[in-house]
Structure 1
């Protein structure tokens, strides 16, 4: 009986805390719901004016396409205000050895160093590094290993593109506000 009273008092003590948190406002980064009328909606419209420079290699093409779809689904902007340059690197490591000393697990680390430039002046506005670490299974079948590694690469590219998009949206929202 005493435990239930203590439990009840603890719950009543947490009630003012919950009421205080109900006044917090969360603004979506990707949508426009709840945003201020006439505001830059957290950098999303400014993202459509970012032109993406070609990124070398197959993974670079994949990242370029993901970024293009995330920043501006209508394609490359005709009159971009900003240029985005990205350099990629990747490393694959095998671990989790069997008794036969063959690997059972692979880890793919993919990095993208990006720089956003003002198109007219060529001034560097922001830069950073996005990183994705993705694991995948290694089995006896060579084809299954190829498909597993390819899937890991696609996931890593998707994560990199989403991270770069988030960072650019935050930068553009702060610089326009």
Structure 2
């Protein structure tokens, strides 16, 4: 008697089904289940971002607002306060003391405040860094630093909103 599946394929199929069944019972729920009508999206739609000073603050607030706008439009219930720390430090140094590599770190301390009772729901910090090659052209180096800041802003904004979604959903 021959089977439609070779034994290794059948074993993988059975193992896959067993793993899928065990995951459904583990209690994990997708954060953005339900799309725009889900709990996380509705909570994010009610977040208003406080102005953040500086160029990096302008970039961060725009990145946060772009992501929040995709969640819909709801009456503001939460206020997101963000303080940024942006640092560039030289890493690679030649014998003539010229820097060949830099690291740019963007750190965001953020607080989510419930506007109904003024209570701080979340108070955390998120950061990310990027490596920058220092070119012989000062213009190229400045452009690389600006590009790194834009990338870091996008990454940190995603991390902040993931944390905010978890806190606001509860």
* Match in the other structure for 1:124: 120
Distance 2:129 2:8 in 1: 42
Partner residue in 1 for 2:65? 68
2:92 matched to 1:87?
A: no
5 Å-filtered alignment, 1:1-177, equals 17-23=15-21, 24-25=23-24, 28-30=30-32, 32=33, 35=34, 41-73=38-70, 79-173=75-169, 175=170
User: Unaligned stretches of 5+ in structure 2?
Assistant: 1-6
Label 1:144 to 1:100 Cα distance change in 2 as closer, same or farther (>3 A): same
Contact 2:46 2:78 in 1 (8 A): yes
1:65-108: CA deviations, max 9, x gaps? Answer: 10001112489x67311111111111111112234331111101
TM-score normalised by the chain length of structure 2: 0.81
Contact 2:42 2:74 (C-alpha < 8 Å) held by counterparts: no
SS at match of 1:55: coil
Two-structure CA RMSD over aligned residues (Å): 2.8
Q: Note if contact 1:130-1:164 (Cα within 8 Å) is conserved in structure 2.
A: yes
Distance of 1:120 and 1:171 partners within structure 2 = 16
Between Structure 1 and Structure 2, how many residues are aligned? 161
Q: Mind listing any 5+ residue stretches in structure 1 that lack a counterpart?
A: 1-8
Normalised by the size of structure 1, how large is the TM-score?
0.78
Q: Is the 8 A contact 1:105 1:135 kept in 2?
A: yes
Tell me the SS of whatever aligns to 2:153. Answer: helix
Is this contact kept in 1: 2:49–2:79, CA < 8 A? yes
